[in-house]
């Protein structure tokens, strides 16, 4: 679901960044207020970003020879609130794009809009409607609907590009696939596979870490962070399993792969000129690999690095803010 570099026009990227910026601002304010009530919010933010980061490393094979992954945004919204989830997922996406080349730098605002805004808030809204009478069903449906809402938003952002941005010969400048292709391609995978994976993952983790065993209702903080740490350790150790799925996620191809998919689908193989002359950014650990190390070891070390960065970042940011307040 990560939109790569140059698939969206600079204008689209600017609009999406401007759209999510006020959400980030409110999220920081809301999280600041939450920390005053629950000090454990600070380590929970680090654990939340780590959880989202790690679950996105587990690529799953899906029909069509491509791959996809869960996100965990609705799970985080149920555990610590949608504003904290928005912040946690945004920070995870930022690290992914800067260090690991997963998602475009210019597309960062768009990726945050779909996975850190649409997904947690839509999912949390579903959960609020159902949690009183059917919390487990509510958690599953919240995750299922949330990830599909994010997939639909991604499909629309990609699909409007050839409609809005093309040259005089009507050749697309950026993503060449129109809405009648992007929406079915994205939604079929997420409705039939990833939505269920996201729902099962969300419900399973909630059942494992919920604070109270006296009720079936999942509540906001405080959360059993010790159990959450066990989950993170398990995900780190198992993360190389994400390498087993072959194929690139739909819409996340590099330029050469894109041309090949166009040819395979009997479409014009014109290279979009906006993509050809777009931003070229080479991340330090592209595709979660570390030069000189086996791929599986590099994958594990990337996961460990991310966890340490997240825990340190939130501690420095929010503990200092609260001491100076």
Q: Output the CA angle 198-109-251, nearest 5 degrees.
A: 60
Query: Helix (H, G, I), strand (E, B), or coil: what is residue 184?
Result: helix
For residue 70, tell me if it sits in a domain.
yes
Cα gap 9→199, rounded to integer Å: 33
Is 60 exceeded by the pLDDT of residue 219?
no
Percent of the chain exceeding pLDDT 90 equals 65
For residue 278, tell me if it sits in a domain.
yes
For residue 288, tell me if it sits in a domain.
yes
CATH of the domain at 235: 1.10.1760.20
Each residue's pLDDT tens digit, 159-180:
999 999 999 999 999 999 999 9
310, 323, 316, 322: which is closest to 31 by C-alpha? 322
The domain containing residue 241 runs over which residues? 10-324
Give the pLDDT score at 213: 41
Domain count, the chain: 1
pLDDT average, residue stretch 187-215? 85
285 Cβ contact partners less than 8 Å away, ≥ 6 residues apart? 99, 100, 101, 298, 302
| Mean pLDDT estimate for the chain | 90
Give the pLDDT score at 188: 94
For residue 122, tell me if it sits in a domain.
yes
For residue 3, tell me if it sits in a domain.
no
For residue 143, tell me if it sits in a domain.
yes
Is 60 exceeded by the pLDDT of residue 103?
yes
Each residue's pLDDT tens digit, 13-58:
999 999 999 999 999 999 988 888 877 788 889 999 999 999 999 9
Instruction: Return the residue matching tokens 């009530």.
Output: 37
For residue 1, tell me if it sits in a domain.
no
DSSP class of residue 242 equals G
25 Cβ contact partners less than 8 Å away, ≥ 6 residues apart? none
- pLDDT-based confidence at 216, cuts 50/70/90? very low
For residue 2, tell me if it sits in a domain.
no
Give the pLDDT score at 152: 98
Each residue's pLDDT tens digit, 258-297:
999 998 888 888 899 999 999 888 888 888 988 889 999 9
Q: Output the CA angle 214-230-244, nearest 5 degrees.
A: 125
DSSP class of residue 226 equals H
Give the pLDDT score at 322: 59
Give the pLDDT score at 221: 54
Phi/psi for 303 (5° steps) reads -65, -45
DSSP class of residue 166 equals B
Is 50 exceeded by the pLDDT of residue 215?
no
pLDDT average, residue stretch 69-93? 95
State the pTM of this model: 0.93
């Amino acid at each position: 679901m990560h939109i790569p570099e140059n698939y969206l026009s600079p204008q689209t990227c600017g609009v999406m960044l401007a759209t999510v910026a006020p959400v980030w601002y409110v999220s920081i304010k809301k999280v600041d207020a939450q920390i005053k009530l629950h000090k454990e919010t600070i380590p929970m933010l680090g654990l939340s970003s780590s959880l989202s980061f790690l679950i996105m490393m587990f690529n799953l094979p899906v029909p069509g020879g491509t791959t996809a992954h869960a996100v965990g945004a609705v799970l985080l919204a149920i555990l610590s609130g949608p504003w904290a989830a928005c912040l946690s997922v945004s920070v995870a996406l930022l690290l992914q794009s800067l260090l690991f080349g997963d998602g475009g730098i210019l597309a960062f605002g768009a990726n945050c809009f779909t996975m850190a805004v649409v997904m947690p808030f839509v999912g949390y809204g579903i959960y609020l409607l159902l949690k009183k009478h059917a919390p487990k069903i509510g958690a599953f449906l919240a995750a299922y609907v949330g990830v599909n809402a994010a997939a639909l938003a991604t499909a629309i952002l990609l699909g409007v590009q050839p409609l809005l941005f093309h040259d005089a010969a009507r050749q697309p400048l950026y993503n060449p696939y129109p809405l009648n292709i992007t929406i079915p391609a994205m939604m079929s995978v997420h409705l039939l596979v990833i939505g269920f994976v996201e729902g099962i993952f969300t419900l399973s983790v909630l059942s494992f870490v919920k604070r109270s065993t006296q009720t079936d209702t999942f509540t906001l903080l405080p959360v059993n962070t010790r159990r959450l740490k066990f989950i993170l350790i398990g995900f780190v150790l198992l993360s190389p399993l994400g390498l087993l799925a072959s194929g690139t996620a739909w819409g996340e191809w590099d330029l050469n792969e894109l041309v090949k998919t166009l040819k395979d689908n009997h479409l014009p193989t014109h290279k979009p000129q906006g993509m050809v002359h777009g931003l070229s950014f080479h991340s330090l650990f592209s595709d979660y690999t570390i030069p000189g190390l086996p791929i599986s070891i590099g994958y594990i070390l990337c996961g460990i690095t991310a966890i340490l960065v997240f825990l340190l970042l939130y501690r420095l940011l929010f503990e200092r803010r609260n001491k100076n307040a």
